[in-house]
């Protein structure tokens, strides 16, 4: 073979090699493109709605990158946030009629039964049955009981709260106050001291928290539920004492009537020295408050420590009407993730809610040591009692009736608490199922 023939042969082999290499590259690209389209085809979009933008927007901003990393094939579309739990309940009721339900909704713990009764919420038992280590993942009985109806789990708690006190310790120091109040009489006495040093409006007490929560807190403080055996249970001395306590606070502290959404602003600005609200707001207040030392404290009692307090918060419920197995499975994965130890830890760190999932507790030991204001509610965990919803189709209307009557104490329109109690008992009793 001469040199020219040899070189031509080598050139042909090289060209052939390049062609083969090009084919392999094109094949790889084709496979890659196919994989991209395959991934896009498998990607599932679910729709989710939650309440209280000011509380939970930060939580989901922290949580979603973690969820996306764990489930890159699931897209989550968030609907407009609910203003509060009443708005959340009314929205879902309307969407059920219009057949426009999301896949997952976060609803107040006291509203879950409504959606179970109306067949809107779907049982989570089929999903739980497929989980191998559900209890080991932190889903303990006490947690599941909060969302269990007729022996079946319909909701997994996303957040649990209790009422606490928020105190401006700089204002306390200025007024010569050296400790957190233990009773409501202490609170009134503190108001007198605070007014003397320039705090004209020293208190806001959250009578207007969703679901008549603080009225229930005064009743549970005496060991009394607001409804018992389907009937009014605030018609006795405990109910009257609750109303009289509210009047004492509002009159004794000259409390202004603020909307729920604005209630924390004067405290953040340093104008209100004592703010009684849900522990859920700790994170938001810490981010928004002015330059003063803030401490949270145990909820005061009515002459003695509270015997119980209503468990606030919300639960994640599956309300999807989709028939697509992939979408249904994706919704379950999301619901489980946000209520898992990882999800519960994110909720506790960004808000002030207590983590209902036990697995989160191990993750939060060091966090609570560095954030004692968020530990206060955890210290009260033994006081957790049911946040009671009013039974029947008029449950939401009853909430509004009680709200309006409590507001009449704040405005000064009602001054005779026995008379107000009788009126409230009569109206609510007429609206309850017979």
Q: What pLDDT score was predicted for residue 133?
A: 84
83 and 223, same domain (yes or no): no
Q: What pLDDT score was predicted for residue 25?
A: 45
- What share of the chain has pLDDT > 90, as a percent? 86
Buried b (16+ CB within 10 A) or exposed e, 124-135: beebbeeeeeee
269 and 409, same domain (yes or no): yes
92 and 175, same domain (yes or no): no
The model's pLDDT over 383-413, given as tens digits with 9 standing for 90+, comes to 999 999 999 999 999 999 999 999 999 999 9
Phi, psi (degrees; rounded to nearest 5) at 2: -80, 170
21 pLDDT tier (thresholds 50, 70, 90): low
200 and 223, same domain (yes or no): yes
With a cut of 50, say whether residue 373 has pLDDT above it: yes
Distance CA 76, CA 91 (A): 19
The domain of 410 spans: 163-310+390-431
The tally of domains found in the chain comes to: 2
92 and 220, same domain (yes or no): no
Q: Is residue 30 part of a domain?
A: no
Q: Report, as an integer, the average pLDDT of 220-240.
A: 97
With a cut of 70, say whether residue 23 has pLDDT above it: no
Contact 243, 417 (CB under 8 A): yes
With a cut of 60, say whether residue 196 has pLDDT above it: yes
362 and 413, same domain (yes or no): no
Q: Domain with 142 in it: what CATH number?
A: 3.40.190.10
Distance CA 107, CA 255 (A): 30
180 and 297, same domain (yes or no): yes
Q: Report, as an integer, the average pLDDT of 93-97.
A: 98
Contact 218, 302 (CB under 8 A): yes
Contacts of 263 (CB under 8 A, 6+ apart): 204, 206, 208, 275, 277
With a cut of 70, say whether residue 32 has pLDDT above it: no
**Which tokens sit at 218?**
């005064």
136 and 185, same domain (yes or no): no
Sign, Cα dihedral of 393, 396, 400, 401: positive
Which ranges of 124-232 would DSSP assign to H, the alpha helix? 125-130, 141-145, 169-175, 184-196, 213-221
With a cut of 80, say whether residue 42 has pLDDT above it: no
Predicted structure pTM score? 0.85
Contact 287, 349 (CB under 8 A): no
363 and 228, same domain (yes or no): no
Task: Give the distance between the most distant pair of CA atoms in the chain.
Answer: 121
370 and 279, same domain (yes or no): no
Contact 314, 412 (CB under 8 A): no
């Amino acid at each position: 073979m001469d040199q020219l023939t040899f070189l031509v042969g080598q050139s042909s082999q090289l060209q052939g090699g390049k062609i083969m290499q090009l084919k392999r590259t094109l094949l790889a690209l084709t496979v890659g493109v196919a994989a991209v389209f395959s991934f896009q085809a498998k990607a599932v979009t679910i729709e989710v709605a939650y309440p209280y933008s000011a509380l939970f927007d930060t939580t989901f901003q922290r949580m979603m990158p973690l969820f996306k990393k764990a489930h890159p094939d699931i897209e989550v579309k968030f609907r407009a946030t609910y203003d509060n739990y009443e708005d959340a309940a009314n929205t879902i009721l309307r969407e059920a009629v219009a057949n426009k339900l999301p896949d997952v909704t976060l609803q107040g713990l006291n509203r879950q039964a409504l959606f179970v009764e109306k067949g809107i919420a779907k049982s989570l038992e089929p999903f739980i049955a497929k989980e191998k280590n559900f209890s080991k993942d932190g889903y303990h009985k006490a947690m599941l009981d909060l969302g269990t109806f007729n022996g079946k789990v319909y909701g997994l708690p996303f957040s649990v709260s209790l009422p606490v006190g928020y105190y401006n310790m700089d204002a306390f120091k200025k007024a010569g106050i050296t400790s957190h109040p233990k009773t409501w009489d202490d609170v009134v006495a503190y108001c007198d001291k605070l007014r003397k040093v320039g705090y004209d409006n020293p208190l806001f007490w959250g009578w207007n928290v969703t679901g008549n929560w603080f009225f229930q807190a005064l009743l549970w403080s005496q060991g009394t539920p607001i409804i018992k055996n389907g009937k009014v249970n605030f018609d006795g001395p405990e109910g009257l004492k609750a109303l009289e306590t509210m009047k004492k606070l509002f009159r004794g502290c000259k409390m202004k009537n603020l909307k729920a959404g604005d209630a924390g602003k004067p405290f953040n600005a340093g104008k209100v020295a004592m703010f009684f609200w849900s522990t859920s707001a700790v994170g938001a207040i810490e981010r928004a408050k002015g330059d003063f030392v803030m401490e949270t404290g145990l909820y005061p009692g009515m002459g003695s420590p509270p015997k119980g307090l209503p468990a606030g918060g919300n639960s994640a419920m599956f309300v999807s009407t989709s028939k697509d197995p992939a979408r249904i499975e994706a919704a379950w994965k999301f619901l489980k993730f946000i209520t898992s130890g990882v999800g519960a830890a994110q909720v506790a760190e960004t808000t002030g809610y207590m983590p209902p999932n036990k697995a989160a507790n191990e993750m939060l030991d060091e966090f609570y040591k560095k954030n004692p204001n968020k530990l206060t509610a955890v210290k009260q965990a033994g006081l957790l009692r049911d946040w009671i919803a009013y039974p029947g189709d008029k449950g939401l209307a009853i909430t509004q009736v009680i709200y309006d009557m409590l507001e009449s104490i704040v405005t000064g329109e009602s001054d005779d608490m026995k008379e107000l109690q009788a009126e409230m008992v009569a109206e609510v009793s007429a609206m309850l199922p017979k």
